[in-house]
Amino acid sequence: MEARTEISSLGEFGLIKRINQGIKTKLPETIKGIGDDAAVIDLDAQFGLLSSDMLLEGVHFDLTFFPLKHLGYKAIAVNVSDIAAMNGIPQQVTVNLALSNRFSVEAIDELYEGIKAACTDYNVDLVGGDTSSSRSGLLISVSVFGKVKKDLITYRNTAKPNDILCVTGDLGGAYLGLQLLEREKQVFLANPNMQPELEGKDYVIQRQLRPEARMDVVYELAEAGVLPTAMIDVSDGLASDLLHLCAQSGVGAIVFEERLPIDDHTFLAATELKISPITAALNGGEDYELLFTIPQDSYELIKNNPKISVIGYVTDNKEEIALHTKGDNRVPITAQGWS
C-alpha cells in the first residue's frame, strides 16, 4: 500500500514548491512561470502578465458579516494587486463563480455591483468567465491579465544587498478588522439581540472588507523615476512575503520595529483585542500593500512620499532575516503561511 503524505506536513509554501518541481515550461514566449506574483509572457513589444486567485466561502470570507458588494470588489482588487507587484498595468479580468441555491438573482446582482465598481476604479474590462453550481457555498475565482514595458518589469528575485526596503501604506489593519468581525459574530450567535460594538472601528473593518490594490503607488513611482529592484504584494503578511522575496533573491534583510507603519486605529484595535500590533503588522496578512526594494540612490526620490515607509535594508547574509527591536535586539523573522 502506497504511503500517504498529509498536505499539512508540507504547508502552503512546501506544496507550491513540490508542484513547481514537476513543471517545466516549453514555449519560448513563457518568460516566467510559477514563483512570482504573476506569470510573464513575451508579447514582442511588451510583457503580458497573468495571475489568478480564488476566494472560498468559509475559508477566505464569512457571509455572516461580509457584504456581497464588498466581496465582489475585493475579488478584483486582490488580483489587480498581483499585477501591481510586477510593476504592471491591469487590463482584463475573467470571473468564475460556483453558486449554491442559497443565492438569489438579487444577491448575484449585488456581488457584481462590487465587481463592476472595482473594474471602474482600476480601469479594467470584465471580459468573461464561467458559472457552475456548488454544494458548499460560494466560490469566486478571478484571473487578471496585464501588461508592462520590458524594461520596467519587477520580479521577486532581484533584490540586491544594500537596497533599501520599503512598504506602502500601513500594516496589520486587515487582520485586526477580521478579529473584530469574528468577535462580534460570536456575540451575535450567543445573543441575536445584541448590537455589534463596532463604533470607531471603520478603518480596520474597511481594511478587511474592502482592500485597495496599490496601483496609485505604481503610477507615482513611475512619475518619480523610481524602478524598484524587487517587489511583492503583502497578501500573506509582511513576514511571509519578505521571506519569499529574500529566499528568491538569495539575500537577507533587517527590518526596524520602530519603522513599521501601523495606523493609530490599528493600535487601538490591537490594544482592545490584546493583540500585539507588531505581531499583527508582521503576520496578519491581507493588507495588499506593496513590499519593495530600491537602490540607495533612489531614496531622495521617495523620501517625501507619505504613502511609502522605509522599514529596513537588504543584506548579503541570506541566513539572517531579522527584526531589529526597539530594545536593540535582533529577532529572526519567521512565518508559516497557510497550513
- Nearest to residue 214, comparing CAs of 78, 39, 72? 78
Based on the number of CB atoms within 10 Å of its own CB, is 131 exposed (0-12), middle (13-18) or buried (19 or more)?
exposed
> pLDDT for 293-331, tens place per residue?
999 999 999 999 999 999 999 999 999 999 999 999 999
Can you name the residues that pair with 94 across neighbouring β-strands?
A: 128, 143
CA gap 316, 247 in Å, rounded: 12
Alpha-carbon span 58 to 6, nearest angstrom: 21
What residue spans in the chain does CATH classification 3.30.1330.10 cover? Answer: 27-149
CATH of region 164-332:
3.90.650.10
Say which residues have a Cβ less than 8 Å from residue 216's Cβ, sequence separation at least 6.
307
Q: Cell 526596503 maps to which residue? A: 165
Length of the chain: 339
Report the predicted TM-score, pTM, of the whole model to 2 decimal places.
0.94
Closest by Cα among 153, 125, 123 to 48: 153
Of the pLDDT bands very low, low, confident and very high (cuts 50, 70, 90), residue 228 is very high
103-141 residue pLDDT tens: 999 999 999 999 999 999 999 999 999 999 999 899 999
Q: So what's the pLDDT on residue 109? A: 98
Architecture category of domain 27-149 in CATH = 2-Layer Sandwich (3.30)
pLDDT tens track for 325-335: 999 999 999 97
- Which residue, 173, 156, 152, is CA-closest to 218? 152
Q: What is the mean pLDDT of the chain?
A: 94
Distance between CA atoms of 283 and 335, rounded to whole angstroms?
A: 7
Predicted confidence (pLDDT) per residue in 47-58, tens digit = 999 999 999 999
Instruction: Point out which residues pair with 126 in neighbouring strands.
Output: 93
